[in-house]
Structure formats: C-alpha cells, structure tokens
Amino acid sequence: MPDMATTGITLAELAARVGATLEGDGSVVVRCIGTLENAGPDAVAFLTSPRFRPLLAGTRAAAVIVTPADREATSLPRLVGANPYAVYAKVAAILHVQPPGAGGIDPTARVHVDARVDPSATIGPFAVIGARAIVGAHTVIGAGATLGEDVEIGADGRLYPRVTIYPGCTIGVRSIVHAGAVIGADGFGMAEEGGRWLKIPQVGRVVIGADCEIGANTTIDRGAIDDTVIEDDVKLDNQIQIGHNCVIGAHTAIAGCVGIAGSTRIGRHCRIGGAAMISGHLEIPDHTTVSGGTTIHSTVREAGIWTSVVPAMLHAQWRRVMSQLRRIPDLTDRVSALERAQRERSDRDPG
C-alpha cells in the first residue's frame, strides 16, 4: 500500500472515505496532518476546541477539519463533521499508513519447529517463537520479541521490539503491543506461613481481544487459576500494571501509570485517568470515568465521574487545608454532642 503522506490524496476522496462533508475545493491535494500553528501548504489541520479558533486566520494549511458550528469561521476548504477529533483520527490513519511487514523470517530469529507462522507474517531479528506458538497472517513480530510456548497472535497484529508474551497467552486480530510490554508474567500470589511467603503457582493465562492496543512497558499478569481477560478494543497506555484475574471490559481506555490490583472487574466503555490506583477484588460499572490520580478502594455502585484527588495548591495552603481536614472527626463529634444536648433540652421542655 503506498504511503499517502508521499503520494497525496484529494479532499473529495478523503471526505468520502471518512464520512465527512466537504465544503470548498475538493481537488485540493493533501499529504499529511498538521496543527493549525505549524501546518504547511500540503497539510490538513483540525480545529477541535473553540479556544483555538483564532489560529484559523493565520494557518498555512491547505484545508481544515471543523465542526458544523465552525464551518463559516474560515474560507479554506474544509471537512465538516460533528466529531472533528474522530474525523482527524480517520484522516491521519489514511495519510500516515503504517508500513506493512516485508514478510518472512529473519535469519537470526529462532522459530521452534512446532510453531506455526503464516507465510505472510514478518519475524524480526533475534525474535524467539516457542513451541506450538501461532502467528497469524500479515502479523509483524519485532526485533528481540519473545513468544512462549502455545502463544497465539491473531492476523494483522503488530508486536514491537522486546515484547515478551509468556506461554499460553493469546492476542486477537489487529491488536498492537508496544515495546517492552510483558504479557502473562506471574501474578502476585503469595500465602504467608510462619513468617515466610509461599508462592502460589499462577496457572491461568492472559487473553487479549481484537483491536486492542497495549502501551510500552505495560505489564498484564496471568491469572492465578482463571484467565486475566482484556476484551475487544481496549486501549492501554504506557506503564500500566494489571494484576492477575482482572477483567477489563470492551472499549475501555486506561491512561498511563495506572495500577489495578488483582481480581478487579472494570466494565465496558470506561475511562481511567493517569496514575489512578484501583484496589483489588472490586467492580467498576460500565460507562464509568475515574479521574487521574484517583484511588478506588471499594466497588463503585453507580456509573459517573469519580474523583478523589486533592487539587494542587501552594504548600503552605495545603498544610492548612490538611490540618483542617484532620480536625473533621473531632468537629463531627462535637456537633453530634451539641445536637444530642439540644434534643434532650427540647424533650424536657417541649414548649
């Protein structure tokens, strides 16, 4: 497939392919995506927030992506859509195509004789493919990646360099795993006896669905008995830790540095902000948003936006606020005592 960033494409063809409304000259050819500030004359820029509207006047872009409300804000050719960020995503995917793998197995790779690698797949330098592993059609396995025994990677997937997939784990079609991710390491299962820790064998797998993306250096632990499950179209950012036996529902997105303890079930269409910490053995319902830095200690009973972090403030002000917060239990007790005393007086003297 040619790289559209080099060959270019007309706005009329772009509009048809992404489902946007074209206004202006459809014969204009664009080759790349750019910002309103820095786009060149061969780029299409995008306006997703009203606060950037003043930049329209000075942009050098050949065309812009806008909402219906902003269609009259510029005379440039434009692609109009109710969700301009989604239009931008589709346009970017067309203009900046990920090059396909060349196909074949690098001479330095180690592929077990019992592995099944589709002839159209690409196995990079020094990759290791274990016994009975399956690599689907057109999938690319990057340099130094390791697939353990009985691993299965679906068609059209991509594993970037140094990804490690432990034995028995599966990844669905069209899924992407970025460099350094570890899928299927042992969960943190320990039993204490006599002041020492006994390791509990982790015999489950990690099962990842179709169209998922796993960020760089993210780790997903295998289940203790049942599997850890990442459903279809889940998007995980970099440096996320997911404990054993977790289930992450389809279409959920989780930002970087989130920690999720074992046996947690997160619903579908959830959004988890960066650095949120989620304790184990709890549930979060569908369509829940957890703000960045929030800590969830118990099951969330109601979908909505959940926030627990204290906003940043000057240190002296923070110390004062924290001091006042520490006094709340004592103040609550004093108010309760005053209310009891008032009720007792009212009972003695109802008039």
The set of catalytic residues is 244
Rg of the chain over Cα atoms, rounded to whole angstroms, equals 27
CA–CA dist 76, 350 (Å, integer) = 78
* DSSP three-state, residue 337: helix
Task: Please give the helix or strand (H or E) that residue 213 lies within, else none.
Answer: strand 213-214
Strand partners, 55: none
CA–CA dist 228, 220 (Å, integer) = 8
Tokens of 159: 């594993």
SS (H, E, C) 251-268: CCEECCCCEECCCCEECC
Report the b/e string of 212-237 with b at 16+ CB within 10 A. Answer: bbbbbbbbbbbbbeebbbbbbbbbbb
Long-range CB contacts (within 8 A, 24+) of 74-79: 75/24, 76/24, 77/11, 77/22, 77/23, 77/24, 77/25, 77/26, 77/28, 78/22, 78/23, 78/24, 79/11, 79/14, 79/15, 79/18, 79/20, 79/21, 79/22, 79/44
Tokens of 269: 């269409």
Q: How far is CA 52 from CA 37, 49, 56, 109, in A?
A: 10, 6, 8, 49
**C-beta separation of 119 from 103 below 8 A:** yes
Tokens of 82: 């109710």
Q: Pick from 91, 99, 102: which is nearest to 8 by CA?
A: 91
Task: Please give the helix or strand (H or E) that residue 135 lies within, else none.
Answer: strand 134-135
